C-alpha cells in the first residue's frame, strides 16, 4: 500500500520534473532568441561598415542593399591610404597613446602606493582633493589649458595632448584601493632586507600589481586612442593629426561625392587596431569595468 | 624564535633609520602626479572661472566685464535651447540605456550558454572610436540609400530623413549613443548580479515569488549600488556629449541637436568667444557638481545595504 503510494508520488514528481525541464528549455530558447536579436543589432553596424568598405560604388547604392560584396574590392583601402596619410595618423596615435599610458602607470602607481602605504601630514586632505578633481569635466579645463599651450607655443604639438594626461586621479584611486588590500607583512619582509621606500615600491608592490597595471593600461590606451575632443582643439596640421582627427578630415574630403565605400574603409582602418587589442585583452576590459562599478 | 626576534630588531632598526624620511619620500613620490594635477586641473579650474568674467577673442587683450557673460547666458535663446536639448539627450539616453542593460544583464545571469560570446558582442561598441562608429551610423541613417530606410521601404514605409529631420535628429543621435554605451552598463550590472547570494533567490522562491518578483524584489535591491553608480556615470557622461554630435549633425538641423558642450566648442573654438565659452563651461561644471553632490547625499539613504565605513 505504502509502496504503491510512493511509486505514484514518484511518478507524479517525475512528470513534474519533466514538465519543469520542458519549461526550462522553452525559457532558454526564448532567452537565446532575445539575446541573439540584441547581439545581432550590436554587431550589424560593424558588419555593414566592413561590407561597404569592400564594395564598388554601384554596389554601395544598390537597392535592395547588398550584404556580401561581389567582387570584393580591397582597392578601397589602398585608395584611402593614398588620399590621406593614415600611416602617419596611426603612428601619431600610437605614440600619444603609448606615452600617456606609460606615464599614467608610473605616476598613478607611485602615488597610489604612497596614499595607501605611507604616512605623511596632509595625506587625507590631498587624497580628498584627488577624488574631488575626478568629477571635473575635461571641457571645463580645456579653455585655460588651450590658452596656456598657445602662450607656450605648444599648439599643434603632441606635447599638448600628452603632458596634461600623464597622470589621472582615477588611476591613482584605482592603485590606492588595490594596494590597501595587501597584507602588512609584505613591507616588513622588505624592511628586514633593508629596502628603501622606493625599493619597497619597485621590488614588492609593483610586481604584485600586474592586474591593476593591465586594467589601467588597457583603459588609458583605449581612451587615448579614441579621444577626439582634446586633439581637435590642440592639433592642427596633417602631420600631427591623430587617427580620429585624420578620419574626420578624410570623411570631409569624401563626403561631397558620398563615397561611402572609401569613408567606411577609412573608418575600418581606425577601428581595426583597437578591435584587435580588445579581442586579445578582453579580460582586462571586463574586469576593469566591473571593478570600477563595484567599488563605485 | 630567535629568527623572529632578530628580524623584529631589524624592522625596528629600519624604522629608526627611515622614519624621519617617510613623509619626505611620500612627498617626493606624489610630486609628479600632484604637480601635473595642479597645472592641468586645479589651476585651469580657477583660471577658467576668472576667464568667465572677461571678454576675450585671443587677439585683443582681455577685458574684465564682471558677470556680463552670465547675464548674457540668461538671455541667450540658443543657450536655453541648448539646455533643453542637453536634458532631452540625457534623459533620452540614460533611461532606456539603464533599463535595457538591466534586462540584458538579468538574461545573461540565467546561467545562459555562450555568455562570453554575448558579453563580447554587447561590449564591442564601447571600446571603439565614437568617430568611426558615428560614420557608419550616418551611412545607415542616410535618407535615400541608407539601410534603415531601404528596409522600411521594403515593408512599404517611407522613412524619415533621420539626421536631417527636426523631430528625428535627436532620437537618431540618442539611439547611436545607447547602442554604443549599453555594453558598459551591462558588464557592471552582470558583475553585480553575479555577486548576489543564491540563498536570497532560494528564500524568495520558497516564499512563492516568481521569476519577475524575484528580479524586482531580490535582484534590484541587491544591486542598487551598481544601478546608482551607472545612473550617475551615464548622466555625467551625457552632459558631456560631443563626438557623436560633431560627426552626425554638427548641432543641426536648426540647432535641434546643439547640446551644451557643442555650443561651448562653437563659442570657444569657432567664434573665439573665450570668456563666454568659459561661462558655459562653468554651467556644465555646476551641473556635474550638483549631480555629484546629490549622489553623495543620497547614496547612503537610497542604496540598499551600503556599508557606512567609507
pLDDT in tens, B84-97: 999 999 999 999 99
* Residue contact A275–B195, C-beta within 8 A: no
B14 to chain A, any CB pair closer than 8 A? The answer is yes
pLDDT by residue (tens digit) across A203-222? Answer: 888 988 888 898 889 889 99
Interface check for B287 against chain A (CB to CB < 8 A): the answer is no
Q: What pLDDT score was predicted for residue A14?
A: 63
Q: In angstroms, what separates the C-alpha of B26 from chain A's closest C-alpha?
A: 6
CA-to-CA dists, residue B165 to B89, B138, B139, B171, angstroms = 16, 13, 15, 10
CA distances from B47 to B56, B72, B236 (A): 13, 20, 23
Question: B22, B33, B147, B290: best mutation site toward chain A, by most A Cβ within 10 Å?
Answer: B33
**Its pTM surpasses 0.80:** yes
DSSP label at residue B80: H
The reply to whether B286 touches chain A by the CB within 8 Å rule is no
Per-residue confidence band for A295, with pLDDT thresholds at 50, 70 and 90: very low
pLDDT band at B224 (very low <50, low <70, confident <90, very high): confident
Residues of A in contact with B114 (CB under 8 A): 32
* A66: its cell numbers: 547588398
Above 80 in pLDDT, residue B306?
no
Instruction: Using CA coordinates, name the residue in chain B closest to A117.
Output: B26
Instruction: Please give the backbone phi and psi of residue A177, each rounded to the nearest 5 degrees, phi first.
Output: -60, -40
A140 contacts B26? CB cut-off 8 A: no
Rounded distance between C-alpha atoms, residue A43 and residue A47, angstroms: 6
Tell me, rounded to whole angstroms, the distance of Cα B254 from its chain centroid: 26
Residue contacts between A and B (CB atoms, under 8 Å): 296
Optimal mutation site among A289, A291, A295, interface B, most CBs of chain B within 10 A: A289
Q: What is the pLDDT of residues A92-118, one digit of tens each?
A: 999 999 999 999 999 999 999 999 988
Q: What pLDDT shows up at residue B301?
A: 62
Query: How confident is the model over B65-86, as a mean pLDDT?
Result: 93
Instruction: Give me the half-sphere count of Cα atoms (radius 13 Å) on the Cβ side of residue B80.
Output: 6
Name every chain B residue with its beta carbon within 8 A of the beta carbon of A220.
none
For residue A86, the model assigns a pLDDT of 93
Q: What is the pLDDT of residues A111-137, one digit of tens each?
A: 999 999 888 899 999 999 888 888 888
Q: What is the mean pLDDT of residues A48-76?
A: 88
Using the beta-carbon criterion (under 8 Å), do B278 and A143 form an inter-chain contact? yes
**More reliable by pLDDT, A64 or A194:** A64
Average of per-residue pLDDT across A165-178: 91
Instruction: Work out the pLDDT band at A296, boundaries 50, 70, 90.
Output: very low
Choose, out of A28, A137, A249, the residue to mutate when testing the contact with B (most B CBs < 10 Å): A137
Measure CB to CB from residue B129 to each of A141, A164, A270 and give the nearest one: A270
Asked whether the predicted pLDDT for residue B302 surpasses 60, the reply is: no
Q: How far is B66 from chain A (nearest CA, A)?
A: 18
pLDDT tops 60 at residue B309? no
Residue B184 touches chain A, beta carbons under 8 Å: yes
Question: Residue B68 has what pLDDT?
Answer: 92
B117/A107 Cβ within 8 A: no
d(CA A112, CA A169): 9
Q: Which of A95-109, A129-143, B115-129, B287-301 has the lowest mean pLDDT?
A: B287-301
From CA B80, how far away is CA B73, in angstroms rounded?
A: 8
Pick from B58, B140, B229: CB nearest A45: B140
What's the CA gap between A218 and A107, in Å, rounded? 16
DSSP B240-278: T--HHHHHHTTT-STTTT--HHHHHHIIIIIS--HHHHH
Q: Averaged over B41-55, what is the pLDDT? A: 92
Q: Does any CB of chain A come closer than 8 Å to the CB of residue B290?
A: no
Q: Percentage of chain A with pLDDT > 70?
A: 91
The pLDDT of residue B146 is above 50? yes
Cβ pair B30:A113 closer than 8 A: no
Query: Which of 74-93 (B) contact A at CB < 8 A?
Result: none
pLDDT band, residue B308 (cuts 50/70/90): very low
CB atoms within 10 A of CB A250: 26
Q: Is residue A112 within 8 Å of residue A171, measured between CB atoms?
A: yes
| Closest to B177 in 3D by CA, of B119, B121, B137 | B137
A212 CA: distance to closest CA in chain B (Å):
17
Q: Which of A244, A34, A187, A81 is nearest to B10 (CA)?
A: A187
Rounded CA-CA distance A27/A130 in Å is: 48
8 A C-beta contact, residue B130 and residue A228: yes
B88 to chain A, closest Cα gap in Å: 20
DSSP designation for B214 = H
d(CA A233, CA A235): 6
The residues pairing with B290 across neighbouring beta strands, listed in sequence order, are none
Residue with cell 580620429: A244
Residue A64: asked if its preceding bond is cis (omega within 30°), the reply is yes
pLDDT at B204 > cutoff 50? yes
B300 pLDDT more than 80: no
User: What's the CA angle centered on B290, arms B190 and B226, to 5 degrees?
Assistant: 10
Q: What confidence category does residue A12 fall into, taking pLDDT thresholds of 50, 70 and 90?
A: low
Sequence-ordered list of residues with C-beta below 8 angstroms from that of A113, at least 6 positions apart, any chain: A175, A179, A201, A205, B29
| Chain A residues touching B240 at Cβ < 8 A | 137-139
Chain B interface test: which of A42, A90, A109 (most B C-beta within 10 Å): A42
Instruction: Give the chain A residue nearest B128 (alpha carbons).
Output: A271
Minimum mean pLDDT range among A180-184, B181-185, B239-243: A180-184
Of A163, A191, A285, Cβ closest to residue B127: A285
Mean pLDDT of A279-294: 73
The Cα B221–Cα B219 span in angstroms is 6
When pLDDT is cut at 50, 70 and 90, the band that residue B104 belongs to is very high
The per-residue pLDDT for A293 is 53
Closest chain A C-alpha to B114 CA, distance in angstroms: 9
Q: Which of B131, B140, B264 sits opposite A244 (nearest CB)?
A: B131
DSSP B161: -
SS3 labels along chain A:
CHHHHHHHHHHHHHHHHHHHHHHHHHHHHHHHHHHHHHHHHHHHHHHHHHHHHCCCHHHHCCCCCCCCCCCCCCHHHHHHHHHCCHHHHHHHHHHHHHHHHHHHHHHHHHHHHHHHHCCCCCHHHHHHHHHHHCCCCHHHHHHHHHHHHHHCCCCCCCHHHHHHHCCCHHHHHHHHHHHHCCCCHHHHHHHHCCCCHHHHHHHHHHHHCHHHHHHHHHHHHHHHHHCCHHHHHHCCCHHHCCHHHHHHHHHHHHHCCCCHHHHHHHHHHHHHHHHHHHHHHHHHHHHHHHHHHHHC
Nearest chain A residue to B274 by CA distance is A143
At residue A290, does pLDDT exceed 90?
Answer: no
Report yes or no: B177 and B237 within 8 Å, Cβ to Cβ. Answer: no
B272 in contact with A at a CB cutoff of 8 Å?
Answer: no
What is the maximum alpha-carbon separation in chain B?
A: 90
Environment class of residue B170 by beta-carbon count within 10 Å: exposed (0-12), middle (13-18) or buried (19+)? Answer: buried
Confidence of residue B83 (pLDDT cuts 50, 70, 90): very high
Q: Is the pLDDT of residue A145 over 90?
A: yes
Q: Lowest mean pLDDT: which of A144-153, A239-248, B218-227?
A: B218-227
Q: What's the whole-number average pLDDT of chain A?
A: 86
Amino acid at each position: 500500500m505504502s509502496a504503491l503510494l510512493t511509486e505514484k508520488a514518484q511518478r507524479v514528481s517525475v512528470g513534474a520534473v519533466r514538465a519543469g525541464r520542458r519549461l526550462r528549455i522553452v525559457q532558454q530558447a526564448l532567452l537565446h532568441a532575445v539575446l541573439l536579436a540584441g547581439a545581432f543589432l550590436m554587431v550589424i553596424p560593424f558588419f555593414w561598415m566592413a561590407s561597404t568598405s569592400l564594395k564598388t560604388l554601384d554596389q554601395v547604392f544598390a537597392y535592395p542593399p547588398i550584404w556580401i560584396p561581389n567582387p570584393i574590392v580591397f582597392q578601397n583601402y589602398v585608395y584611402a591610404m593614398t588620399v590621406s596619410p593614415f600611416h602617419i595618423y596611426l603612428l601619431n596615435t600610437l605614440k600619444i597613446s603609448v606615452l600617456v599610458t606609460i606615464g599614467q602607470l608610473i605616476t598613478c602607481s607611485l602615488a597610489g602606493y604612497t596614499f595607501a602605504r605611507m604616512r605623511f601630514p596632509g595625506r587625507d586632505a590631498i587624497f580628498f582633493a584627488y577624488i574631488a578633481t575626478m568629477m571635473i569635466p575635461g571641457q571645463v579645463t580645456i579653455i585655460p589649458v588651450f590658452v596656456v599651450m598657445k602662450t607656450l607655443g605648444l599648439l599643434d604639438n603632441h606635447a599638448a595632448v600628452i603632458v596634461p594626461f600623464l597622470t589621472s586621479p582615477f588611476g591613482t584611486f584605482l592603485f590606492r584601493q588595490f594596494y590597501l588590500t595587501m597584507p602588512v607583512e609584505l613591507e616588513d619582509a622588505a624592511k628586514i632586507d633593508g629596502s628603501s621606500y622606493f625599493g619597497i615600491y619597485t621590488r614588492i608592490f609593483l610586481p604584485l600589481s600586474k592586474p591593476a597595471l593591465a586594467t589601467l593600461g588597457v583603459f588609458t590606451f583605449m581612451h587615448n586612442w579614441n579621444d577626439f575632443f582634446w586633439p581637435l582643439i590642440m592639433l592642427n596640421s596633417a602631420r600631427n593629426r591623430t587617427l580620429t582627427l585624420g578620419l574626420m578630415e578624410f570623411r570631409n574630403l569624401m563626403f561631397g561625392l558620398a563615397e561611402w565605400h572609401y569613408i567606411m574603409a577609412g573608418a575600418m582602418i581606425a577601428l581595426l587596431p583597437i578591435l584587435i587589442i580588445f579581442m586579445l585583452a578582453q579580460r582586462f576590459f571586463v574586469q576593469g569595468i566591473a571593478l570600477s562599478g563595484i567599488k563605485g | 624564535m630567535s629568527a623572529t626576534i632578530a628580524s623584529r630588531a631589524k624592522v625596528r632598526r629600519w624604522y629608526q633609520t627611515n622614519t624621519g624620511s617617510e613623509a619626505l619620500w611620500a612627498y617626493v613620490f606624489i610630486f609628479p602626479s600632484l604637480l601635473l594635477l595642479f597645472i592641468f586641473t586645479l589651476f585651469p579650474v580657477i583660471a577658467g572661472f576668472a576667464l568667465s568674467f572677461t571678454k576675450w577673442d585671443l587677439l585683443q587683450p582681455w577685458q574684465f566685464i564682471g558677470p556680463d557673460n552670465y547675464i548674457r547666458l540668461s538671455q541667450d535663446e540658443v543657450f536655453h535651447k541648448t539646455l533643453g536639448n542637453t536634458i532631452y539627450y540625457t534623459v533620452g539616453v540614460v533611461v532606456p540605456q539603464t533599463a535595457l542593460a538591466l534586462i540584458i544583464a538579468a538574461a545573461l545571469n540565467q546561467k545562459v550558454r555562450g555568455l562570453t560570446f554575448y558579453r563580447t558582442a554587447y561590449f564591442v561598441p564601447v571600446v571603439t572610436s565614437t568617430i568611426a562608429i558615428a560614420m557608419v551610423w550616418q551611412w545607415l541613417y542616410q535618407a535615400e540609400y541608407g539601410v534603415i530606410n531601404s528596409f522600411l521601404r521594403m515593408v512599404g514605409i517611407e522613412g524619415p530623413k533621420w539626421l536631417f529631420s527636426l523631430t528625428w535628429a535627436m532620437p537618431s543621435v540618442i539611439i547611436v549613443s545607447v547602442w554604443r554605451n549599453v555594453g558598459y552598463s551591462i558588464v557592471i550590472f552582470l558583475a553585480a548580479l553575479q555577486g548576489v547570494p543564491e540563498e536570497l533567490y532560494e528564500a524568495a522562491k520558497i516564499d512563492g515569488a516568481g521569476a519577475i518578483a524575484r528580479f524586482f524584489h531580490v535582484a534590484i535591491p541587491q544591486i542598487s549600488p551598481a544601478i546608482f553608480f551607472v545612473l550617475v556615470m551615464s548622466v555625467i557622461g551625457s552632459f558631456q556629449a560631443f563626438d557623436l554630435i560633431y560627426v552626425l549633425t554638427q548641432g543641426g538641423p536648426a540647432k535641434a541637436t546643439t547640446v551644451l558642450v557643442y555650443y561651448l566648442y562653437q563659442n570657444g573654438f569657432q567664434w573665439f568667444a573665450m570668456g563666454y565659452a568659459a561661462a558655459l563651461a562653468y554651467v556644465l561644471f555646476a551641473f556635474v557638481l550638483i549631480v555629484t553632490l546629490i549622489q553623495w547625499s543620497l547614496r547612503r539613504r537610497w542604496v540598499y545595504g551600503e556599508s557606512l565605513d567609507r
